[in-house]
Amino acid sequence: MSQERWAAVDRYITDLLVQPDPALEAALKDSVKAGLPPINVSPPQGKLLHILAKMQGARRILEVGTLGGYSTIWLASALSRGGKLITLEVDPRHAEIARKNIGRAGLTKAVEVRLGNALDTLPKLVSEGRGPFDLVFIDADKPSNPEYFAWALKLSRKGTLIVVDNVVRDGAVVDAKSRDASVRGVRRLNQVIAAEKRVVATTIQTVSAKGYDGFAVALVVVD
Ligand code: SAH
Ligand code: DHB
Ligand code: MG
């Protein structure tokens, strides 16, 4: 099976099940126009994040890795009334595009884009007493995944759902000798998750318009 077929099926699913949303479409268009890398989640994946947030009845969501705010809009539009999403982004250009996209989606009041290295911002969120979050979506630089997961746990409660994107990396995740920093980060993350007694977790491989990858889902089961 080819990338072309995976993309065709993604289009089929999207046309059938993902209602067109002008703000989401404009967010992608303007992200491309601004030269941002096209590494946002796909429309069906975005909708899955939205459904997961709804299932959580989420009032507080944390996202690590904003890019142009595409996944941010999917998640924030699932918040229950008065809910808030905090999204962390290190690149000022990405943050600027994201703020515009989030504004056009009418979500400025619900979303706080925090500029800075997430490894600096996450401890600040803890010391500010932010959280616990109902859902955490980790989707930034892959080498820091183990650290992001540890901070996500600190900002969690029993019932928090932690989702980590891009944990299969074209299947390279099985290569114990990989020198790729992202693959190594993902493998370390998987070991951390496997050893973590406070979560029940699994990973789902995916093919999509974005290629062969996958996401991990961890549910926090103790306070
Ligand atoms: N979640 C987005 C895609 C995020 S791409 C979506 O699906 O639409 C990853 C983003 O993480 C990029 O914008 C990148 O600049 C950001 N990033 C990389 N390293 C980071 C760090 N240390 N702290 C915060 N953000 C980081
Ligand atoms: C990469 C990052 C992502 O968030 C993604 O969805 C795909 C690829 C990357 O850094 O390679
Ligand atoms: Mg991703």
Regarding pTM above 0.85, the answer is yes
Per-residue pLDDT of the chain (223 residues; tens, 9 = 90+): 799 999 999 999 999 999 999 999 999 999 999 999 999 999 999 999 999 999 999 999 999 999 999 999 999 999 999 999 999 999 999 999 999 999 999 999 999 999 999 999 999 999 999 999 999 999 999 999 999 999 999 999 999 999 999 999 999 999 999 999 999 999 999 999 999 999 999 999 999 999 999 999 999 999 8
What ranges do the domains of the chain cover?
3-220
- Inter-CA distances, 47 with 13, 165, 205, Å: 11, 14, 17
Q: Nearest ligand, CA of residue 40?
A: 1
Distance, in Å, from the CA atom of 219 to the CA atom of 223, rounded to the nearest integer, reads 11
The predicted-structure confidence for 128-177, as pLDDT tens digits, reads as follows 999 999 999 999 999 999 999 999 999 999 999 999 999 999 999 999 99
Peptide linkage before 20 cis (omega within 30 of 0): no
87: amino acid identity, one letter:
T
Closest ligand 1 atom to Cα of 37: 5
- Assign domain 3-220 to its CATH superfamily: Vaccinia Virus protein VP39 (3.40.50.150)
Distance, in Å, from the CA atom of 170 to the CA atom of 205, rounded to the nearest integer, reads 9
Query: What does the block give as tokens for 114?
Result: 């925090």
Quote the ligand 1 centre to 118 CA distance (angstroms).
Answer: 9
pLDDT at 223: 83
Quote the ligand 2 centre to 94 CA distance (angstroms).
Answer: 14
H or E element in which residue 84 lies: strand 84-89
For residue 165 and ligand 2, the question of a CB distance below 6 A is answered with yes
Quote the ligand 2 centre to 143 CA distance (angstroms).
Answer: 11
Distance, in Å, from the CA atom of 182 to the CA atom of 142, rounded to the nearest integer, reads 5
Query: What does the block give as tokens for 19?
Result: 């209602």
Query: What does the block give as tokens for 105?
Result: 């989606």
For residue 139 and ligand 2, the question of a CB distance below 6 A is answered with yes
